[in-house]
Amino acid sequence: MFITDSLQNNETAILQLADEAARKGIEILACPEMCLTGYNPETLGRPGFNNELAASLARIARAARELNLGIIFGRAEFCGEKLFNTASIFLPDGSNFNYRKMHLTEIETEYFSPGTSPLVFNFKNHKFGLIICRDQNSPELARSLAAAGAEAIFILAAHYYNPAEARWKLPKNRALPIARAVENHFYVLLANAVGCHLGMVSLGNSLIAGPDGSLVVMGDETSETILACEFKPD
């Protein structure tokens, strides 16, 4: 998914992807880190932004119910004086969950506060974990999700770097989700952003890795597309 500075444009993109996923028979859709709000401080600090965000969240929640589709997406979350890099989950039955990124990058620590609690949620009689981007570097966090019963984990990412760094970090950002899958014997589903944002680039390569380390499917570097697989845990 391409991420812009416009909350409205990002919401439209999420809803369009949700409609496409529902038509394809997909039951739960994951979109990238911070994909609803983007990262631009001018956007996040705009007067009335919280009201706009609340209205957008309500529309996405309604779409989840009407499309009978779980929708996972990243966003900024304000809580008092603190700002969090948050992943929200809206399920068709009206339930919802939030996870706050625990392992922040150096730049993010200037703006965001770290989360403190891992998350495992139930959907369709299965347990899923959820982490965000840099969290994938922590074997301990993934292990705690497996210990809590997660049969698969979603990773929401937005691997924005300068072009040269984006290129040389591609192997690492492919390898870590696969490593977490093998270590914990579960599926890992990575949803990464594509395109440019704030002068940086994210080279996609969203993927689904199996418990045996197999690469079930992987996206390319530039396309806004939906990857899918049939989930059949042992």
Q: Of 18, 31, 76, whose CA–CA distance to 190 is shortest? A: 31
Residue-wise pLDDT tens digits, 99-113 = 999 999 999 999 999
| Residue in the structure block whose two tokens are 């966090």 | 141
Q: Is residue 80 part of a domain?
A: yes
Mean pLDDT for the stretch of residues 196-217:
95
Q: Which residues pair with 156 in a beta bridge?
A: 132, 191
Q: Is residue 25 part of a domain?
A: yes
CATH label of the domain that carries residue 152: 3.60.110.10
The CA distances from residue 30 to 38, 81, 100, 167, in Å, are 16, 28, 16, 24
pLDDT of residue 122: 96
Residue-wise pLDDT tens digits, 137-150 = 999 999 999 999 99
Q: Is residue 229 part of a domain?
A: no
Q: Is the pLDDT of residue 228 over 80?
A: yes
Q: Is residue 230 part of a domain?
A: no
What rounded mean pLDDT belongs to the chain? 96
Mean pLDDT for the stretch of residues 48-70:
97
Q: Is residue 211 part of a domain?
A: yes
Q: Which domain holds residue 30?
A: 7-218
Q: Is the pLDDT of residue 35 over 80?
A: yes
Judge whether 13 and 5 are in contact, CB under 8 Å: no
Q: Is the pLDDT of residue 233 over 90?
A: no
Q: Is the pLDDT of residue 69 over 70?
A: yes
Q: Is residue 49 part of a domain?
A: yes
Q: Measure the CA–CA gap between 20 and 32, rounded to whole angstroms.
A: 16
pLDDT of residue 37: 98
Q: Is residue 180 part of a domain?
A: yes
Q: Is residue 1 part of a domain?
A: no
pLDDT of residue 183: 97
Count of domains for the chain: 1
Structure tokens at 101: 């990124």
